[in-house]
Amino acid sequence: MGKLEELKAKLNNLGREYAKIKTLRQEERKAFGEQINRQKAALLAQIKALEDAAEDAAVEPIDLTAPFGENTTPFTPASGTKHPLTTELDRVAEIYRQMGFNVIEARQLDDEFHMFDSLNFPKEHPARDGYDTFRTEEGFIPPAHTSTMQYRALTRFRDDLEKYGQIAVVVPGRVFRNEDVDATHEHTFYQCEGVFVSKDATLGQMLATWKNFFETYYGQKLNIKTQPGFFPFTEPSLEFQIEKPASLGGKGDGWLEMGGCGMIHPNVLKTAGIDPEVYKGFAWGGGIDRLVMLKYGINDVRYFESGKLDFLKEF
C-alpha cells in the first residue's frame, strides 16, 4: 500500500470514530469531537500535499508555439444543455409558485447566527463543534441545510402578515455536509426549504401542502405518513415519508423518508420579530437530489457532481 492510500485508509477509519460521539456523556463530546477534528485536519493536509505533488509532476507544459490564427480550425463547442438538477430545481420552484409561494434563492456561504442562533440551536449543540459542518478560516459556514434562510424569509416577508395575512416562501439552494461519500451520500447537494406563517397555520395544512407537492412532481397519487423527529427549530417535529409505488421502483410495501418538517418553534418566530402568541407557522425541508434519483431511476448520487458526460448526455 502506497503512502497516499495508507493516509486515505486512516482517514476513512477516523470517520467511523464520529459515531462514538453519541455514546459519550454530554460533557465529553466537545473535547472528543475537537480531538477527532485535529486528527482529520492533519491527515487531510498530508493527503493534499501528496496529491498536489503528484498533480504537479503529471502536468504537461503548455506549448506556447502551437499555431493559432486564420488557418487553424476554430473551436466550435456542441450546443449545451441544462444540468438535470437545474432542470428539476426549476420544476420544483414552479410547482410551489403555482401553490402561491414566493421563491428566493439560498446562500452558499453563511454565518453562525443564521446557521444556529436564529434556529434555536443551544450553545452546547454538537453540530456547532464542526464534525458535521464545514467552516472557513474566517469563521464563515457553507450552510449544512437551507434552514439557514428561515430567519431571512421571515424578516423579508414579515410585512406580508399585515398585507395578506400570511408568509409563504420556499428556498431552494445548495448545501454542504462533512459526509463519507458513497452511492447515497454526498458532501454537496441541494435542498428546498418551505416556510408558512399565519394566524391559524396547522400541521394538517403542512402535510397537505407537502403531499400536494410530491403528487404534482411525480404525477400520481401517493400515500404519506409521518413519525416523530427532532429539530431545534420546530416543535413538534416530524419526519415525512411517502409510500414507494411501483412506478418509482417500489413493491407497494416500503416507505421513503423525504425530509423533516414541523411547526416553527416560538423562539424562531420571536427572533424574527413575529409574535408567537398571535401567529403560528410550519416549515419543512428535503433533498432535491433524491427526488430526481427516484424520478429517473438513478442509483448513485455521485453522478450529479461527477461531470460524467455519459450520464449528463442522457438528459
> The cell 416577508 sits on which residue?
157
Q: What is the pLDDT of residues 280-314, one digit of tens each?
A: 999 999 999 989 988 888 888 988 888 878 888 88
- Which range has the top average pLDDT, 7-16, 71-80, 95-104, 172-181? 95-104
Q: Is the N-terminal amide bond of 236 cis, ω within 30° of 0?
A: yes
In sequence order, the 6+-apart residues with CB closer than 8 A to the CB of 130 are 33, 34, 37, 178
Lowest mean pLDDT among 37-51, 90-104, 257-271: 37-51
Closest CA to 167 of 258, 269, 60: 269
User: What are the φ and ψ backbone dihedral angles of 65, each rounded to 5 degrees?
Assistant: -95, 0
- What does the alpha-carbon distance between residue 115 and residue 6 come to, in Å, rounded to a whole number? 35
Residues 35-50, mean pLDDT to the nearest whole number = 80
Closest CA to 162 of 283, 284, 268, 273: 273
Please name the residue ranges forming H helices in the chain.
3-17, 26-58, 84-98, 112-115, 150-156, 160-163, 203-218, 266-271, 288-296, 303-306, 309-312
In sequence order, the 6+-apart residues with CB closer than 8 A to the CB of 29 are 21, 126, 129
Q: Is the N-terminal amide bond of 245 cis, ω within 30° of 0?
A: no
Q: Where are the domains of the chain?
A: 3-58, 84-312
Contact 170, 142 (CB under 8 A): no
As beta bridge partners, residue 180 has none
Question: Beta-carbon neighbour count of residue 152 at 10 Å?
Answer: 19
Tell me what pLDDT residue 75 has. Answer: 47
Q: What is the pLDDT of residues 120-152, one digit of tens each?
A: 887 766 555 655 678 888 888 888 889 999 999
pTM value is 0.72
**CATH superfamily to which 84-312 belongs:** Bira Bifunctional Protein; Domain 2 (3.30.930.10)
Contact 271, 118 (CB under 8 A): yes
